[in-house]
């Protein structure tokens, strides 16, 4: 094979950002005549990464039985999608109707405009809204299941319910645009006894089983794509991937599973296991050259597990506790950049600081290090995280008085809370809360200016007493005066180890919103290259609410597949 490289990687500032568990990507190789090269394998469509985006792309592309699809994954498939809450943001669905909820594509698009801002074109948001109800029957044909009951409660994750208000639908600002509707659709468990578990596994298990059952899809697990190959005209015509032989693959599987295990994480063994898995990949994987006839779909996840890349691309968010898998190392984005793909929103991490549960916290106030209020406390947790990291150096506290604190303590005993919610809430109240008889003393204890905190609380109380609208447009139901000592401040910064701010990256490759093709810096499509899920800028890249990333994975996976089928 020729050794010429495109040189495009030099334009991507994070191309060489590596960590102990990342997979290095090489500069793209240029060949004069793809057909004259020696290849080990051939396919029509190469899917790089089998989380929800890649799995959706592969299954959708394979609906054309004349196409051969090679789906590759660093692990066994599933990625962050399999560890997730399994919540998809959808509107006008059968499940909503069954739960007595009225909603429509138009109503959902009107609300989403509030979250997608100017990043995504209104036509694209509307196309997503029009399609989203059909995701459920499609996912169900591949074995996932959806249904009620509906939760009316304000929660970050509804333990025993499967349809809920997962975003900012009920805030005053959103109500001006659209009728609130619950749109967070959580995957039902295969075993009804597992109702309180995270549902990502329930979503991905049947989809991956469906994928492996298709005669025209080949899944290559324990395989990493590390280089793209382009022809003289810049079309992506192949890839170099590294596959583990059966013996090392078994060891790799064990170590990758341990790297994701909750108990191993707590005991510190998970990080060691992940590093050992990476060493096996570096030392024992074998090169396989793949000729790709129609196109490559990059769907290899985000980069939150590459701390070097986070520090350089999104420096405000270094305190975020990354969640997902070591596959989120940015390698998919680097592959796109290696052939000139542009990127956007690389500085955005969706950082989740939920003030509910305990639901009563939203009635207090969230303040920053200058003692001033920072956010509408009832908004979705990513809005609070954004306020903490973007404008307050990663710092913040929630302030309540005695009656509110008593109610917070009650909320924390809710038997419906998931075990991780119980753990983090208990830690927040026992380890990261300070109390003082006066606001001045409280300010001293947490190190914020006392006069500013007193003025903030006074203004908050006065506006409630005078019947004025809240300065941050919080609804009246979530406003209670803070006036009866002792007063309490709970640390909501990135620092509490047992109540961290977790997050995932939202930036990625820029794509043509109609075709999903990766665009170069001049806005021109790179032939033969598509991106989906968190490898691409998507519906959730401006602002994420629960369910919008997974829904975008299906949307963008379908989009890439439809473009490939049409070629």
Ligand X SMILES: Cc1cc2nc3c(=O)[nH]c(=O)nc-3n(C[C@H](O)[C@H](O)[C@H](O)COP(=O)(O)OP(=O)(O)OC[C@H]3O[C@@H](n4cnc5c(N)ncnc54)[C@H](O)[C@@H]3O)c2cc1C
If the CB atoms of residues 333 and 448 are measured against ligand X, the closer one turns out to be 333
Cα–Cα distance for residue pair 486/395, rounded to 1 Å: 22
Shortest approach of ligand X to residue 163 CB, angstroms? 13
Cα–Cα distance list, 435 to 440, 450, 461 (Å): 11, 14, 19
Shortest approach of ligand X to residue 244 CB, angstroms? 12
Q: Of 227, 208, 297, 344, nearest to 532 (Cα)?
A: 297
Shortest approach of ligand X to residue 486 CB, angstroms? 35
Cα–Cα distance for residue pair 536/333, rounded to 1 Å: 8
Shortest approach of ligand X to residue 310 CB, angstroms? 15
Concatenated DSSP letters of 170-222 = TSHHHHTTS-----EEEPPPSSGGGTTS-SHHHHHHHHHHHHHH-TTEEEE-S
If the CB atoms of residues 290 and 439 are measured against ligand X, the closer one turns out to be 290
* Residue closest to ligand X when measured from CB atoms: 51
Q: Which residue has the tokens 């003289």?
A: 232
The site for ligand X (CB under 6 A) is made up of: 23, 48-54, 72-75, 77-81, 83-87, 224-225, 299-301, 323-325, 327-328, 331-332, 504, 533-534, 546-550, 553
Q: Is 448 helix (H, G, I), strand (E, B) or coil?
A: coil
If the CB atoms of residues 393 and 512 are measured against ligand X, the closer one turns out to be 512
Cα–Cα distance for residue pair 345/313, rounded to 1 Å: 9
Shortest approach of ligand X to residue 407 CB, angstroms? 27
Furthest C-alpha separation in the chain: 80
Shortest approach of ligand X to residue 526 CB, angstroms? 18
Q: Of 539, 544, 550, nearest to 146 (Cα)?
A: 550
Sign of the torsion formed by the C-alpha atoms of 56, 557, 249 and 199 = negative
If the CB atoms of residues 35 and 283 are measured against ligand X, the closer one turns out to be 283
Cα–Cα distance for residue pair 198/79, rounded to 1 Å: 14
Sign of the torsion formed by the C-alpha atoms of 425, 428, 431 and 434 = negative
Using only C-alpha atoms, what is the Rg of the chain?
Answer: 24
Shortest approach of ligand X to residue 504 CB, angstroms? 5
Shortest approach of ligand X to residue 328 CB, angstroms? 6
CA dihedral of residues 47, 50, 53, 57 (deg, nearest 10) = 40
């Amino acid at each position: 094979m020729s050794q010429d490289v495109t040189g495009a990687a030099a334009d991507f500032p994070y191309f060489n950002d590596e960590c102990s568990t990342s997979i290095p990507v090489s500069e793209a190789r240029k060949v004069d005549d793809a057909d004259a090269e020696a290849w080990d394998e051939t396919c029509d469509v190469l899917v790089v990464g089998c989380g929800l985006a890649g799995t959706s792309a592969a299954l959708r592309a394979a609906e054309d039985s004349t196409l051969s699809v090679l789906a590759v994954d660093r692990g066994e498939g599933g990625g962050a999608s399999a560890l997730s809450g399994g919540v998809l943001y959808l509107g006008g669905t059968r499940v909503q109707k069954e739960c007595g909820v009225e909603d429509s594509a138009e109503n959902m698009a009107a609300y989403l405009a509030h979250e997608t801002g100017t990043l995504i074109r209104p036509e694209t948001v509307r196309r997503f809204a029009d399609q989203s109800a059909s995701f459920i029957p499609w996912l169900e044909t591949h074995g996932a299941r959806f249904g009620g009951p509906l939760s009316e409660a304000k929660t970050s994750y509804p333990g025993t319910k499967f349809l809920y208000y997962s975003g900012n639908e009920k805030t005053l600002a959103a109500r001006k645009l659209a009728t609130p509707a619950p749109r967070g659709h959580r995957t039902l468990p295969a075993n009804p006894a597992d109702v309180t578990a995270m549902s990502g596994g329930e979503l991905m298990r049947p989809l991956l089983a469906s994928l492996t059952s298709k005669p025209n899809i080949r899944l290559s697990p324990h395989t990493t794509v590390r280089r793209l190959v382009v022809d003289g005209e810049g079309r992506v015509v192949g890839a170099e991937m590294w596959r583990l032989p059966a013996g090392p693959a078994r060891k790799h599987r064990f170590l990758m599973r341990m790297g994701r295990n909750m108990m191993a994480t707590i005991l510190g063994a998970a990080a060691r296991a992940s590093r050992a898995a990476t060493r096996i990949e570096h030392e024992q994987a074998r090169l396989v050259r793949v000729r790709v006839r129609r196109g490559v779909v990059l769907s290899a996840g985000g980069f939150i597990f590459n701390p070097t890349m986070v520090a350089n691309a999104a420096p405000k968010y270094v305190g975020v506790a990354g969640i997902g898998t070591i596959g989120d190392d940015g390698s998919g984005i680097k592959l796109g950049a290696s052939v000139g793909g542009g990127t956007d929103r690389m500085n955005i991490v969706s950082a989740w600081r939920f003030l509910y549960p305990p639901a009563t916290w939203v009635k207090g106030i969230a303040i920053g290090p200058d003692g001033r209020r920072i956010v509408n406390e009832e908004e979705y947790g990513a809005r609070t995280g954004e306020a903490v990291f973007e404008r307050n150096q990663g710092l913040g506290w929630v302030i309540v008085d005695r009656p509110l604190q008593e109610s917070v303590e009650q909320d924390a005993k809710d038997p419906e809370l998931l075990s991780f919610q119980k753990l983090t809430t208990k830690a927040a109240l026992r380890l990261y809360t300070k109390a003082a008889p006066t606001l001045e003393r409280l300010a001293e204890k947490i190190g914020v200016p006392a006069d500013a905190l007193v003025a903030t609380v006074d203004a908050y109380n006065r506006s409630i007493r005078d019947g004025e609208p809240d300065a941050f447009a919080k609804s009246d139901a979530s406003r209670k005066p803070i006036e009866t000592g002792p007063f309490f401040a709970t640390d909501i910064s990135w620092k509490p180890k047992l109540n961290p701010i977790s997050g995932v990256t939202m930036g990625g490759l820029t794509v043509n919103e109609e075709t999903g093709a990766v665009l170069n810096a001049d806005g021109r499509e790179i032939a033969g290259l598509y991106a989906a899920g968190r490898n691409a800028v998507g519906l959730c890249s401006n602002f994420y609410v629960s369910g919008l990333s997974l829904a975008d994975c299906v949307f963008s996976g379908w989009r890439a597949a439809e473009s490939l089928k049409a070629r």
